[in-house]
Structure 1
Amino acid sequence: MLKQFFIICSGADTNILNDCSKGEQNKYAGIGATVFFTALMAFIAASYALFTVFDNAFIAVGFGFIWGLLIFNLDRYIVSTLKKTGHFADEMIQATPRIILAVIIAVVISKPLELKIFEKEIDRVLLEQKNEYTLANKNQIAEQFTPQIETLRQTITELQNEIATKEAEVNALYNTYISEAEGTAGTKLLGKGPVYKEKRDKHDAALEELQQLKQNNQDKINIIESEISKLQSDYNNQVTSSQPIINDFDGLMARVNALSKLPWLPSFFIFLLFLAIETSPIFAKLLSPKSAYDFRLENEETAIKTNVLQNKNQREALLKTEFAINDRVYKDIETEDELYNYKRKKARELLQLQADTFFNHQKNIL
């Protein structure tokens, strides 16, 4: 039962193969087993690849099953349409497009399995990339907010410098009127005279201006600091909202790119393994001599071809004979008076009928 199933998988004609030797049947059973297990591996590989895309086992298995059937059908077609002609060059011409197709199938099957085999190494590469993307994302978002924040901080610094300048001015006035009172500067007179009062009033006025300036600038600084706080909050919100996108950066294409950053030799050997499996039925047919099955299949195909050609030639000869007979028949009756008189009579009747019809039509109009 299993042997018959694998023979069906090989695409061989079971009616012909049943009349062949056991060795011939085993050969095609082996080819069919290769086709079946290749399709099974394609189903597993496609299911895993699609699971990384959809994150849904039912969808992945469903599409993976369809993909496995497609690969099974392609492999079965490749093997079953490769005919043994007895000429290696002709067989190679037949096999070349099939080998190219087999290489493509091997790549498609092997790549998802490589992703699964090297999953831990790929996860490490993806983690490094995610960290890099996180830092780059923060820098890119910061470029949107940093100029505004720096401008606002520069404004705060200018307001603080304005207060410091005014304080220095007030301190200088304080030192001036104290020195006047002590007699160490100005008029050099000890005591609080008119000059002292004038300088003291000037200091007090500047001190009052300083207090007002501090109050005004502090209000401005508070407003600016609230704006800075809002910008920093917006920055943190954008970083937080964009981080899940980076965290989800582990799809199929990301894993394929991460796999390309790993050493290529292990992946290459896995590809060679699947390439050998995929092309083994083709090369088995190419390298094996023309067997009993091939001769029987060729006999059936040539028998049908011969029968079709015979029927075609027979129909062409029949048509040619029919044309010749018709030509002779019409040529023989061409000169008969009886046929001429009969057609003359009918033509006369037709002309009379046309004349009567025309007359009646014109009469009705009038």
Structure 2
Amino acid sequence: MRLFWKAAGADRFILERSTYGDQIKYVCLGGIIIATGVMAAIAGGYAFYTIFAPKGNAIDSFKAVEGIASNYDPTDVPTALISIVFGLIWGAIIFNIDRFIVTSTGKGDGTEAITRKELVGALPRIIMGAIIALTISKPVEIRMFKTEIDVALHAKQIKQEQAYKAEIEKVANGEIDKKQAIIREQLNRIARLDSISTVRKADIAYENSHGGCSLKCTEFKNQLVSNQAEVTAIKSDPEFIKVKKDLEALETDKLNKLKESGKVAAGLDGLLERIKLAHEEAGWVISMFVTLLFMTIELTPIFFKLMLIKSPYDYMEENIKELIKADKGIEIQHNFYPDGEGIERDLVINHQVLRILKEKIQLLEAQSALSNEAINAWKHKKQNDINNNPDAYLSEE
């Protein structure tokens, strides 16, 4: 109870002497603030884990949750530990912001009605509370609809993977086709030369079988040697070898990129993508309902304080404040003077400050008077010394 009182910014000394209704009222108020901090810690930790956890196939996580693949552990322990630390820090930050917002919100006019003036005065705190509610609701929302999001995300990852593969095929095949065309042209030349060489070998064999190698047979042999030399030159051509190596490198790179397409598609699994899919899968009505639910939890303490009716706690608190001001010599005259815009301002008189200031002024005045008397006495003494012995104060030089 004392912890909740402290979270609500209530005075334990006064509450212990107040009514039970006041005690419960501030317990509830502090409980809401602490609950908001706890929810912020959970939401912040989950959001941090979603952002920095290793990316993978969304359906694997879905299977693990459903128990289909019991040997699969989707939790990355190092990221989870860091997320817990971040969640605790984030929860503490939100808790302190909420506590400040609630404690700095006045009690209004002490009635249940929330007037327009009260609402305008609380508007900055309401806006801050709404922003905090949004930051809490979105991570919780994607966790609530995780199963549906995983299925939709897996389908999107498959489409992304197919599109990535198609793009790789389109880009890589263009370069591969160019290299293959060059190689094909050289291979066709080699095939033609080999075909001619085969014919010439048959011609030479025929000539040899009919009386030995004649002049024509020698020409066939020379042409055969020339064709074989040309084939060797084509195969050993540095440009031809380079094109073949480039083709192999392109094909290897293409295969590697195709293998990595799954990892690329898995990178689609981010916080923003999950929030988008949560809106698509749940629909704007349910999404808005979840957000409004957290806004209600977050903004309840602010409206709660504006609707509070003055109770014994409030009167005792005001009384203690007045006693402290009286003890410290602080006087406030309300609506004492209008400012330049016609708004009545309070006159604050700090009597202890005035007393010390007056004492200080009198002390300085007394010191100044004594100093003047000392100077006059010294001056009178010196004049007497000069009158009695003027030679001592004169110099012949």
**TM-score of the pair, normalised by structure 2:** 0.65
Contact 1:84 1:294 in 2 (8 A): no
Q: How far, CA to CA, are the matches of 1:157 and 1:208 in structure 2? A: 23
Q: How far, CA to CA, are the matches of 1:224 and 1:323 in structure 2? A: 100
The CA deviation string for residues 214-239 of structure 1, in whole angstroms up to 9 with x for no partner, is: 78768888985564333211221233
Distance 1:216 1:100, change over 3 A: same
Identity of aligned residues (%): 32
> How far 1:313 sits from its partner (Å)?
2.5
Structure holding more helix per residue: 1
Does the residue aligned with 1:84 lie in a helix, a strand or coil?
coil
User: Counterparts in 2 of 1:160-179, with a 5 A limit?
Assistant: none
1:297 to 317, 332, 344: 317
Per the alignment, residue 313 of structure 1 pairs with: 351
Distance 1:203 1:347, change over 3 A: farther
2:88 to 40, 48, 65: 65
Q: Write the letter of the residue equivalent to 1:70.
A: I
Per the alignment, residue 106 of structure 2 pairs with: 83
Unmatched segments (≥5 aa) in structure 2: 54-75, 198-213, 332-348, 386-391, 393-397
User: Counterparts in 2 of 1:240-251, with a 5 A limit?
Assistant: 240-241=259-260, 243-251=262-270
Q: How far, CA to CA, are the matches of 2:255 and 2:108 in structure 1? A: 73
* 2:6 counterpart of 1:12: no
Contact 2:133 2:291 in 1 (8 A): yes
Per the alignment, residue 174 of structure 1 pairs with: none
Does the residue aligned with 2:330 lie in a helix, a strand or coil?
helix
* 2:302 counterpart of 1:282: yes
> How far 1:304 sits from its partner (Å)?
2.6
Q: Write the letter of the residue equivalent to 1:131.
A: I
Does the residue aligned with 1:11 lie in a helix, a strand or coil?
coil
Per the alignment, residue 58 of structure 2 pairs with: none
* 2:156 counterpart of 1:129: yes
> How far 1:204 sits from its partner (Å)?
10
Q: Write the letter of the residue equivalent to 1:239.
A: L
User: Counterparts in 2 of 1:29-48, with a 5 A limit?
Assistant: 29-48=27-46
Q: How far, CA to CA, are the matches of 1:272 and 1:82 in structure 2? A: 21
Q: Write the letter of the residue equivalent to 1:58.
A: L
* 2:21 counterpart of 1:23: yes
> How far 1:206 sits from its partner (Å)?
8.4
Per the alignment, residue 274 of structure 2 pairs with: 255
The CA deviation string for residues 94-131 of structure 1, in whole angstroms up to 9 with x for no partner, is: 42221111111111111111111111222233223323
Per the alignment, residue 51 of structure 1 pairs with: 49
> How far 1:264 sits from its partner (Å)?
2.4
Contact 1:35 1:76 in 2 (8 A): yes
Per the alignment, residue 127 of structure 2 pairs with: 100
> How far 1:253 sits from its partner (Å)?
3.6
Distance 1:199 1:297, change over 3 A: same
Q: Write the letter of the residue equivalent to 2:179.
A: L
Q: Write the letter of the residue equivalent to 1:150.
A: D
Structure holding more strand per residue: 2
* 2:254 counterpart of 1:235: yes
Unmatched segments (≥5 aa) in structure 1: 171-196, 350-355, 357-366
> How far 1:66 sits from its partner (Å)?
2.2
Contact 1:133 1:246 in 2 (8 A): yes
Greater C-alpha radius of gyration: 1
Q: Write the letter of the residue equivalent to 1:154.
A: A
Q: How far, CA to CA, are the matches of 1:216 and 1:320 in structure 2? A: 113
Per the alignment, residue 188 of structure 1 pairs with: none
Q: How far, CA to CA, are the matches of 1:253 and 1:131 in structure 2? A: 18
Per the alignment, residue 376 of structure 2 pairs with: 340
Q: How many residues align?
A: 326
